A and B are shown apart, each in its own frame.
Chain A
Amino acid sequence: MSEVITESTQKVAARSRPPWGRILAWGGLAVLLALLFFGLLRTQSGGKRIGARAPEFTLTTFDGQTYRLEELRGKVVVVNFWASWCKPCEQEADELEAAWRYYQPRGDVLFLGVAWTDTDKKSLEYLQKFGITYPNGPDLGTRMAQAYRITGVPETYIIDRNGVLAYAKLSPFLSIEELKSAIDPLLED
Chain B
Amino acid sequence: MRNNQPFRDVSPTRRMTAALLWMVGLLLLAGMTLIFVPQASAQNPTPPPAISDDQVNAIAKEMYCPVCENTPLDVCPTQACAEWRELIREKLAEGWSEAQIKQYFVDRFGDRVLATPPARGLNWLVYVIPPIAILLGVFLLYSAFRAWRRSAPPPAQASPPAAGSAPASDEYVRRLEEELRNR
Residues of A that sit less than 8 Å from B by CB: 1, 3-4, 21-22, 25, 28-29, 32, 35-36, 39, 43, 83-85, 117-119, 121-122, 138, 140-143, 145-146
Contact = CB atoms under 8 A, between A and B. Distances in A.
Contacts of B84: 119
B132 A85 contact: no
Contact of B83 (A43, A122, A141, A142): A122
A35 B125 contact: yes
Contacts of B106: 141
Contact of B78 (A25, A36, A85, A140): A85
Nearest to B142: A21
Nearest to A40: B122
A117 B107 contact: no
Interface residues of B, number: 28
A32 B132 contact: yes
A46 to B, nearest CB: 16
B110 interface: yes
Interface of B: 65-67, 78-80, 83-84, 86-87, 106-110, 112, 122, 125, 128-129, 132, 136, 139-140, 143, 167-168, 171
Given A25-B140, A117-B65, A142-B112, A32 B168 contact: no
Given A85-B80, A117-B109, A140-B108, A39 B132 contact: no
Nearest to B80: A85
Nearest to A2: B167
A25 B108 contact: no
Most-contacted residue by chain B among A3, A4, A32 (CB, 10 A):
A32
For the complex, would chain B's binding face be called helix, strand, loop or mixed by DSSP majority?
helix
B143 A1 contact: no
Contacts of B139: 21, 25
B107 to A, nearest CB: 7
A32 B125 contact: yes
B167 A22 contact: no
A85 B79 contact: yes
A25 B167 CA distance: 40
B167 A142 contact: no
B143 A21 contact: yes
Nearest to A152: B67
A36 B140 CA distance: 22
Contacts of A119: 83-84, 86-87
A25 to B, nearest CB: 5
A22 B143 contact: yes
A121 B66 CA distance: 19
Given A28-B132, A142-B109, A146-B110, 6 more contacts: A36-B129, A84-B83, A117-B66, A121-B87, A142-B110, A143-B110
